[in-house]
Amino acid sequence: MPGRRRAATTTTRRTTGRSTTKRRTTARRPAVPDLPTAGPGERVWVLAVPFRAPAPGAVWHPGLQAHVWVGARLPAALAPYDPPPYTLERYLEDELNDEPRPLPEGRPMVPREEQCTGAEAVVASAAAGHRVFLLGDDPGVGKTGTAVLAAREICEMRGGERVLVVADRPAAITIPHWTRSIAGFGDGGLRWCVTTWDRLAKVAGLEFDVVIADEAHMVRHTTTQRWKHWKAVSGGGRVKDVPFVVAATATPAHTPLELPYLAPQFAQVHGEPLRSWADLPAKLAEHGFHVERGRYGWTWTEDADARRADLARLQGWLAGGRGPADPPATLHRPAPWGPVSVTGTPVALTPAEQAAYESEWQEFRAEMQLARRARQSARGRAALLRFRQKAGLIRAQATVDWVRAQVEAERQVAVSVEFVETAADPIREALLDSGVAVASIYGRDRFDVEAERLRFQSGEAPVCVFTVTASISLHAGELLPSGTTASATPRVGLFHQPRFSGIQARQVTGRTHRDGQVSPWRVAYAEGTVEEQVARVMVERLAVSGSTAGADTSALQEIAELLDADWLPPAALTEG
């Protein structure tokens, strides 16, 4: 639509009598400037200017939360900030001009059979009037292509044209992945807007016909600003004029309590008012789920039989089958090339390392006991974090040696770490010192993450050290943006430390074990220590994961008990 200036309006409040009390003066919010408009032969350009980057001539617009420039042609100094197709800035730009800019032709991508049949299932759900579809295929099966194909068909069927894609971080990798996929599979003539969970506030006031939530488990907590913006974008608090939501994630949640983004669909299944599902835990309890309110909020039972019953009931809500016009509202398919192999890799500590480890362990336990007696959860979380960092640093050289051996055996290695200063940096530096090239995907703005990813994928760097858990591809044979394919060298993965979160661990393995490529993973741990027991729990959990609730919390409870941390809230282990 062409940009139009919004008329400023004022409201006058009348009073019927005098007040003897002194009125409090409140600071007025600055008025939002009118939306920019283009003159004859001009265009409004909305730019993607990085933080603190110079943008001569461009003006920051607080309403758009972006820099804008008005003119016939974009100056050379601003050309680097011209946003790619399908991005948020390009979407806003098209809103402000009479005609959208022409889009370059994308490199064609041929959907696989799994993606076509998956799209058919999503479209059938939308045709039945469902609110949300849970696309829970295993990593690498092709959720991106499935979602793109489904969105096109749904818009054609329902008459919409605006599609929002919310991707995970890092934006430098995830946004290009989605925009290439949209162009490759075909945009269907629709208006696409690709953003990330971190920038959700910028689209909270916009309306869409289809919303694709990539890594939908990112909104499993309702106490965050992210949830507030998600509720606005997805229509989670509205009954009418709402988009169809495709919630795409291979790991929906740790427990049924973490599925608020499916509440609109649950309400619809039961024919109940949407507002009655605003408190998901209470509603689950009302429907007979084995949940109860505890010290740190609602908790799920540890009884295995009760959990199975709850999961069966939950899956039944999404399975459909209540008539010919009631298709499933979910789809989960395991990877056709088989589940990932995850095994433990013990590290024998030297006497000096063993002494250092024991010292850190005793110090940690003493600090944990003090924090527990004082009920100081922040102190306990800090102690747990310090211990994990120091324990990982002690084993850094062992990880380096293992990685070098894999490279010498002509394999490419993906090393997953959680900490930068005590894991990513020392491992990277030691490998570089030994002559092994390393691609680095960690640290805020330290590296060009997409350039680093391509170094690994091309084989230029045989090792990739990364902290992200999802939304990047490191598998062999990937079709790269240049049209070439990634190296065919076999990939192996290593968790430098055991992951507490089943969701994160499962997502990480899917970075290399995907799209028909088999990639085994190892979990490194210090032999004869608490790490060995934690690693055992992690490996066992991954061997049976895949339920609707993702990674059940019995594993977290067992890990917490091993670390004397069972008195801390679960978030201390999964998000600390």
Contact indicator for 128, 158 with CB cutoff of 8 Å: no
| pLDDT for the residue 551 | 46
**Is 356 buried (19+), middle (13-18) or exposed (0-12) by CB count in 10 A?**
middle
* Phi, then psi, of 427 in degrees rounded to 5: -65, -45
pLDDT of 260 higher than 70: yes
Residue 26 has pLDDT above 60, yes or no: no
Q: What's the pLDDT score for residue 14?
A: 36
Q: Which of 38, 46, 36 minimizes the C-alpha distance to 98? A: 38
Of the candidates 402, 405, 397, 363, the one whose C-alpha atom is nearest the C-alpha of residue 383 is: 363
Best-predicted range by mean pLDDT among 4-13, 220-229, 499-508?
Answer: 220-229
Look at residue 106 and tell me whether its pLDDT is greater than 60. Answer: yes
Instruction: List pLDDT tens digits, range 371-427.
Output: 999 999 999 999 999 999 999 999 999 999 999 999 999 999 999 999 999 999 999
Residue 191 tokens read as 């208006």
Type and span of the H or E element at 310: helix 304-319
266 pLDDT higher than 70: yes
pLDDT in tens, 79-90: 999 999 999 999
pLDDT reported for residue 11: 37
Kindly state the average pLDDT of the residues 11-24. Answer: 37
Give CA–CA dist 144/148, Å, rounded.
6
For the chain, the domains span: 43-84, 113-274+312-331, 342-574
pLDDT at 52: 84
Q: Is the pLDDT of residue 24 over 80?
A: no
- pLDDT tens-digit map of 440-460: 999 888 999 999 999 999 999
* pLDDT band of 302, cuts 50, 70, 90: confident
pLDDT of residue 2: 42
**pLDDT of amino acid 558:** 83
Look over the chain and give the mean of its residue pLDDT values, rounded to a whole number: 89
pTM for this model (two decimals): 0.79
The position carrying tokens 């661990």 is 505
Query: In angstroms, rounded to a whole number, what is the distance separating the alpha carbons of residues 185 and 478?
Result: 16
295-305 mean pLDDT = 87
Please check whether the domain covering 113-274+312-331 is classified as CATH 3.40.50.10810. yes
Q: Span 291-295, mean pLDDT? A: 87
Q: Treating both helix axes as pointing N-terminal to C-terminal, what angle do 530-544 and 554-562 enclose, rounded to 10 degrees?
A: 180
Residue 430's CB is within 10 A of a number of other CB atoms, namely 18
Give the class (CATH, top level) of 342-574: alpha beta
Question: Given a cut of 60, is residue 548 above it in pLDDT?
Answer: no
- Segment 34-59 shows an average pLDDT of 92
Q: Which of 212, 258, 256, 201 has its CA nearest to residue 234?
A: 212
**Quick check: do 113-274+312-331 and 342-574 share a fold?**
yes
Please choose, from the candidates 94, 81, 93, 154, the residue with its C-alpha nearest in 3D space to the C-alpha of residue 119: 154
**Residues 419-436: pLDDT tens digits?**
999 999 999 999 999 999
- Predicted confidence band of residue 7 (pLDDT cuts 50, 70, 90): very low
Q: What is the pLDDT of residue 543?
A: 66
